[in-house]
Structure 1
Amino acid sequence: MRAVVSSNTQMIPAFRVAGRINKPLHEVFEAVVDPAQLSGYFTTGGASGRLEPGATVTWDFADFPGACPVRVVEVVADHKIVLHWAAADGGPETGGRYDTTVTMLFEGLEDGRTLVSIAETGWRESAAGQKAAFGNCEGWTGMLCALKVYLEHGIKLRDGFYK
């Protein structure tokens, strides 16, 4: 996680995680936008639809309770996905619901692998916002690990991991 200092010296929670997948760019990109594939390694309770600009899909995590509406802001085939979804610290006691922005970038490497980077920004400058950002940093790191072993070895890493 990286923290950016604002003019009032508060820490703005934000992070970026990245990993290399030993598969071609298009195959990796499709494993994220296709709900059947995404449900195989990440959204263990299912994904309701393909990630397409303007769509709102639901990601359900059967092993980590909660169905999440995900608003798809931008998709550039084989390059970029931008999503908005509810921040984990958006309860009434912390100022109400708000969304964060998730940006996924895909880069084909010269050796045939694909570099995937995921950044999430937009949390409130608070202890609760920082805690939520750390939790999501862990979650996106887990997603990248699960994506890698699913595509490279057919293993469903999340099976039994959280329960």
Structure 2
Amino acid sequence: MKLESKAILQIQKPIEDVFEGIVNPEKMTKYFISESSGRLETGKDVTWKFPEFNTRFSIKEVKTEKPSFISFVWDPETIVKITLEKLPDNSTIVRVNENGKDFNENNLKWALENTGGWANFLACMKAYLEYGVQLRQGAFDFMRKK
């Protein structure tokens, strides 16, 4: 059995705006990461840095299908898939699924933590794209190594 983390949220913005909010590092640095080496584009690897960690994360095997799908690997055991669905009112449902880890105690902890992490990603993205609010700013300063 493989474990997965999942999160879903509706964002009151057109699908094209939400897609751009995920693939464009200028937008992502307002709600998720602090640095990126480039846009998420098919076949292009990028590096992300989060404000609360000194470590940089390699984002590999990027695939995008504008305006409805993004996937990448940042953990060799898993793949992240982000699916966007346009609704009749011109809002967008965003589904995040990360899966691939075998079932064991450590990986169960991973699944629970990442599910919360992806829910946070979606909430922060919604606040930024809809209202320009940067919810993540200062939210995880307590995690920084001193």
Tell me the TM-score normalised to structure 1 length. 0.82
Determine the C-alpha separation between the residues in 2 that align with 1:65 and 1:162.
13
Tell me the alpha carbon deviations over residues 26-70 of structure 1, each in whole angstroms, 9 at most, x when there is no partner.
Answer: 001000000111111100x21111011111111111124532111
Determine the C-alpha separation between the residues in 2 that align with 1:65 and 1:124.
28
* 2:13 is aligned with 1:13: no
1:115 positional shift:
0.5
Unaligned runs of 5+ in 1: 1-5, 7-11, 87-97
Determine the C-alpha separation between the residues in 1 that align with 2:111 and 2:44.
24
- Greater RCO, CA 8 A, separation 6+: 2
User: Does the CA-based 8 Å contact 2:45-2:62 persist in structure 1?
Assistant: no
Partner of 1:42: 32
Identity percentage over the alignment? 33
RMSD: 1.3
Unaligned runs of 5+ in 2: 142-146
1:127 positional shift:
0.9
Map 1:133-148 to 2 at 5 A: 133-148=111-126
Structure with greater Cα Rg: 1
Tell me the alpha carbon deviations over residues 97-127 of structure 1, each in whole angstroms, 9 at most, x when there is no partner.
Answer: x331000001110011111000000113211
Task: Specify the SS of the correspondent of 2:28.
Answer: helix
Match of 2:12 among 17, 22, 28: 22
Match of 1:83 among 69, 72, 75: 72
